[in-house]
Amino acid sequence: MDNSKIVTEPIPDKTCVIVGTRPGIIKMSPIIAELNDRDIESFTIHTGQHYSYELDGRMFEDLQLDEPKYRIEGVEETEYHGEQTAAMLGGIEAVLLEERPETVLVCGDANFNLAGALAARKLRLELGHVEAGLRSGDWRMPEEHNRVMIDHISDYLFAPTEQTRENAVEDNVKGEIVVTGNTIVDAVERNMEIARAQSDILERLSLEGSEYAVFTAHREENVDDRAVLSDLIEILDQVTSEEGIPIVYPLHPRTEKRLEQFGLMESIRGISDLHLIDPVGYLDFLQLLVNADVTLTDSGGIQEESCIIGVPCVTLRKNTERPETVEVGANTIAGTDPDAVIRRLEVARGWIGDWENPFGDGDAALRIADTVLDEGR
């Protein structure tokens, strides 16, 4: 250990934003824009966890973000959680030693955030966790491990809601907790009108004026288990054939890989009225979501967006770290048993979508920047 290499004099106010996955890029985009508007130095590190154009480059284009200053190489080849996290950690540490920011911001629960948080903590830099305090209580989830670990080593915990603030307090975290709202509201507000004006996804799928559902599934506990993945295919089949609702399913690369490995690709491709498509850009996705009748998903971000936009959501999991969506009447936690999901879907389709948005007023990025730069406080 060469302790002389530990950063002792960070550059005041210099802020580093770490991104790495599709939802990380989307949720950090309002913060990157807010920091760019301020008279301070800031830069972005892309950890390389997501790398396919649809999940990465396309997001930068849609959100009108500059190329990140740094991109960590060699992460794509990794296979295991520890190996992937370690590859990102080493790369991030080297950049932080070079740049000496005062503050490092990570967002959410994916592995790249744990890597960024550990790198910052070990270099004794100030660490802010955006989307802090979420808890599913499901210890099978790699994301739950990451949330807990990051919250406990952060100096600032940017809790999106009062409930998440309470979770962090109950966990006896050491850092300062600030309730900011979720930056996903900022992102939806900034991009929804652009999406309505620019996206032609409904025309491309011949869905203009039609009823349809949006479906997504990529969670490890669901798609890495052959039996659960088969149940998801059964759900797609029943919703389209028995309930008569066409479905749009932008397929995540993890799920595509598992469908191939488990020999299930033919069964899913055989379902009529299912638009099984590549992941779409953020603007196309917002346009799909806002015009949908209902969402079926295991995604965290999509549970939030459906709630914000006013589209009923059926969550294909046994629990959620976003209970606020259920409390306001926007979401139902259905699990993955086909009959249970169909029953919940029938109820959810009757909801009108006039619930309150529990995720804030769209100024989360402003509050986060004010806090780390010690302005307006």
CB of 49 to ligand UD1, least distance (A): 5
285 binds, among ligand UD1, ligand UDP, none (CB under 5 to 8 A by kind): ligand UDP
Mark out the alpha helices in the chain (DSSP H runs).
Answer: 22-36, 57-62, 81-99, 111-122, 142-153, 162-170, 183-198, 201-204, 220-223, 226-241, 253-261, 265-269, 282-290, 300-309, 323-327, 338-348, 364-372
Instruction: Tell me the per-residue interface mask from 205 to 244 with ligand UDP, x by CB under 6 A, - otherwise.
Output: -----------x-x--------------------------
Q: Pick from 236, 243, 245, 248: which is nearest to 202 by CA? A: 248
Say how many residues touch ligand UD1, by CB under 6 A. Answer: 18
- At 297 the three-state DSSP class reads strand
| 218 in active site | yes
SS3 278: coil
Shortest approach of ligand UDP to residue 203 CB, angstroms? 17
- Residues 14-53, one symbol each (x = binds ligand UD1 by CB under 6 A, - = not), give -------xxx-------------------------xxxx-
Q: Is 179 in the site for ligand UD1 (CB under 6 A)?
A: no
Q: What is the dihedral of CA 169, 173, 176, 177, to 10 degrees?
A: -40
Quick check: 312 binds ligand UDP (CB under 6 A)? no
217 binds ligand UD1 (CB under 6 A): no
Hunting for tokens 């399913």 — which residue is that? 249
Q: How far apart are CA 348 and CA 271, in angstroms?
A: 23
The nearest distance, CB 321 to ligand UDP, in angstroms, is 10
Q: Which residues bind ligand UD1 (CB under 6 A)?
A: 21-23, 49-52, 55-56, 109-111, 142-143, 218, 253-254, 257
Q: Which residues bind ligand UDP (CB under 6 A)?
A: 22-23, 26, 216, 218, 250, 279-280, 282, 285, 299-302, 305
